[in-house]
Structure 1
Amino acid sequence: MAREKVELPPFQALIDAHWRDVARLARAMAGDDGDDVAQRAWEKAYAAYPALKSAKNLRGWLLTITARCATDVHRARKPQRPLDEAPPVAVDGPEAAAWPDPDLWRAVNELPERQRFAITLKYVGDLDHHGVAAALDTTPAASRRLVSDALATLRGKLGVHDD
């Protein structure tokens, strides 16, 4: 039984539609290495594109690749100094003026890595919990917990209270 060929848009159309999302997520997750992460994500996507079995959620597929590339960069880094002395990752990105609240993003940078990645994927990448879970290689329940814990920490740091 032959497998049906999936009709994919030209790769350039994919780039044109989603380059900002990939660049923004890469920069938010990898700071100064964001441009390299975005480039690596596009290279991996290009290599895997012809073998895709579905064209259903190409944006989510690209953002998952981007998140995994950012995670690889973090894993490859060798600590140069104790973590408590390391400066936070800068979240400014190609469209720095588009980041609405610098105090919020400073607080996001201070979150533990998995919480920071989860909340960035959820709110910058606009992924649902299944997408966040796929990007972080965890379960949707763990994704919900990471995002929930991150939000609780941010509310405490920023003095935001539910009334």
Structure 2
Amino acid sequence: MPTYTEAELPTFEEYAAAAWPSLYRRAYLLCGNHADAEDLAQASLIKIHASWTKVSRAESPHAYVRRILTNTFLSTKRHKGRRLELLAGDHAPEPTSPPVEGPEDRMALWPHVRDLPKRQRAVIVLRYYEQLSEAEIADALDCSRGNVKSTAHRALQNLRTALDGRDE
């Protein structure tokens, strides 16, 4: 997301246009699909607009927006029966083959990240995609560093279990 000095604070519309690509990418990593990512990014922009004075004057507007996006994701309730369905004519994606060493590892990992509980997924995205420290994640999630550590530990355990259990 773009950074601004106080002298060049943009209007909300300018900020939203500039921030949309990165906001959407982060939302996609949290949600795991395009439709929900668009909904999350738009819901976050609505909240950002409502708090634009606070956001634009914050010491770090980028961190403020990240917190809004993450908290909006975590507070979103989904009906248990809601599932993404394939439309007629669509084909289920082929199972991924075992990853080879290199960037392909990350692509094989993301389906398993999507299966994590929301809070664990948020910690993994903030830690490994955003490369935030434990303190920054704790601030974004409004929890203690210990909570971040234990949530990350459980998430990594779940990912290891999922990767160990896949067909070789």
- TM-score bracket relative to the smaller structure: 0.5 to 0.7
Q: Give, in whole Å, the separation in 2 of the partners of 1:99 and 1:60.
A: 29
RCO greater where, 1 or 2, for CA within 8 Å and sep 6 or more? 1
Q: 2:133 aligns with which of 104, 124, 128?
A: 128
Q: Give, in whole Å, the separation in 2 of the partners of 1:122 and 1:44.
A: 24
Verify the 8 A CA contact 1:122 1:128 in the aligned structure 2: yes
Q: 1:104 aligns with which of 105, 109, 113?
A: 109
Q: Give, in whole Å, the separation in 1 of the partners of 2:8 and 2:58.
A: 6
Structure 1: gaps (5+ residues): 1-5, 88-97
Divergent runs of 4+, >6 A: none
Q: Which digits, 9 at most, give the CA deviation of each residue in 1:25-76, with x for residues without a partner? A: 1112223311011011112112212135843221111111011111232x2x
- 1:154: how far off? 2.5
Verify the 8 A CA contact 1:64 1:131 in the aligned structure 2: no
Counterpart of 1:90 in structure 2 is none
Structure 2: gaps (5+ residues): 1-5, 85-102
Count the aligned residue pairs: 138
Q: Give the percent of matched residue pairs that are identical in Structure 1 and Structure 2.
A: 27
Counterpart of 1:117 in structure 2 is 122
Q: Give, in whole Å, the separation in 2 of the partners of 1:108 and 1:46.
A: 30
TM-score, structure 1 length as denominator? 0.67
- Higher mean alpha-carbon deviation, 126-135 vs 141-150, is at 126-135
Residues 1-163 of structure 1 mapped to structure 2, 5 A cutoff: 9-10=9-10, 11-15=12-16, 17-30=18-31, 31=33, 32-52=35-55, 54-73=57-76, 75=77, 77-80=78-81, 101-158=106-163
Verify the 8 A CA contact 1:115 1:146 in the aligned structure 2: yes
Q: Give, in whole Å, the separation in 2 of the partners of 1:54 and 1:144.
A: 31
Counterpart of 1:3 in structure 2 is none
Higher-Rg member (1/2): 2
Q: Which digits, 9 at most, give the CA deviation of each residue in 1:81-131, with x for residues without a partner? A: 7xxxx67xxxxxxxxxx9973210012122233211211122233333233
